Amino acid sequence: MNEYCYQIEEDINRLHDLTPDVPDYFTVNPKILTNTDIDEQTFIKTFGEFVNLVKQIYRDMMKYPESYGLPLFERHSIITEAQKVSSKKSAIRLVEILRTISAIGVLNCNNDSLEVDIITFKSAKISKYAMIFDCLFDFGFNITNYKDGKFEKSASLFSISHSDNPMMMNVIKLFMQEAPWGTKNNDYQTRQLDYKLAADKEKLSSDAFIRDFAAYASNEVKDKIVLMHNQLINQFHLDCAYEKGSEYIYRHDNPGVRLAELKLRVMPPNKPNRYNLSLKLLYCSYFEDKLNTLPEHIKKIFRQSNCRFCNSDGECVSSIRYKFEEQNVAKCYMTGFYLTSAEDVDTALALINYEYEARGNNWKFRIVKKK
């Protein structure tokens, strides 16, 4: 699959790729394992199997979205904002169901299942849950008092377990107890089943987030991205925000001023994911001579004006102006390029250094416009 036919395919694929792989070892928050018979390594192993299973389900969803009751908004047609929202909500329906079951289900230690009150579950009003249930049987889940899209009329409870790993429902419940839900700013980790929610935060590696973020880059580029991230924070003292589970925003003091944006662009399957870096280089005119030393594919970006917010007369109102190869260039927004090699990351760091020096080694520094 090289291109998407439906919007839901992109949303599911994005969720698949942004779900981090579970490492062989990390320190689990001891509070999670309190009053359980599960040891740390069993929790990690079982949770890793669960995440891999969910990723398999995501791939199946992409192949057969209609089987899961997912909306089929065609990519080549005009998609409204409401349809985009509907598609994104449908993509996380599986996680929503598992979280709801975990919240209201009671562990039955005799058969390693979660027993769920049917009326309480239905009150959560999760749309088309039955189509998800029907497909879960194909992935080793067992659901009692349920058949052909309906709960048995005489039943007040249903139970759910996994045939290949009896500990799975218990581990899912323990994880979901630590997972926030329903708040835009912090529930992306829940949607992505991020193991770091279950980690002991004090013992979690300081670069765990950026390393998971850079997981799709080659080893050389991955290490360089981590180095650049740490340099932006430690050397340049920028504030960092991890947003939407797929981008880093770097600022200095003022939340409204972005100095750099590092984004993961999730591509269709069989195409490599890409990392895009955008830099707010306000003072290119003060290091024009150094632009000539850039790699040729980066020079092309600096040769081009990028006027996105020009006035009605067609005149660029940008304050970012410089001269490059005898051409006057104006940019209304950030300068962006893909980090496809270690050299690209080195170039990015060099540009940040040039900008920092032009500001007098002070991000707050502002230069009066040249007339």
Q: How far is CA 371 from CA 158, 302, 319, in A?
A: 74, 22, 11
- Residue 370: which pLDDT band, with cuts at 50, 70 and 90? very low
Which pLDDT tens digit goes with each residue over 309-343?
555 555 666 667 788 888 888 777 778 899 999 99
Share of residues in the chain with pLDDT > 70 (%): 91
Which pLDDT tens digit goes with each residue over 346-359?
999 999 999 999 88
pLDDT, average across residues 161-173: 95
Residue 28, pLDDT score: 96
Which pLDDT tens digit goes with each residue over 13-24?
999 999 999 999
Which pLDDT tens digit goes with each residue over 57-115?
999 999 999 999 999 999 888 889 999 999 999 999 999 999 999 999 999 988 889 99
Which pLDDT tens digit goes with each residue over 252-274?
876 667 889 999 999 999 889 99
The lowest-confidence range among 137-146, 181-190, 336-345 is 181-190
**Residue (of 305, 326, 327, 307) closest to 317 by Cα position:** 307
The lowest-confidence range among 2-16, 71-85, 184-198 is 184-198
Would you kindly state where each structural domain of the chain is located, as residue ranges? 7-198, 208-358
Residue 58, pLDDT score: 97
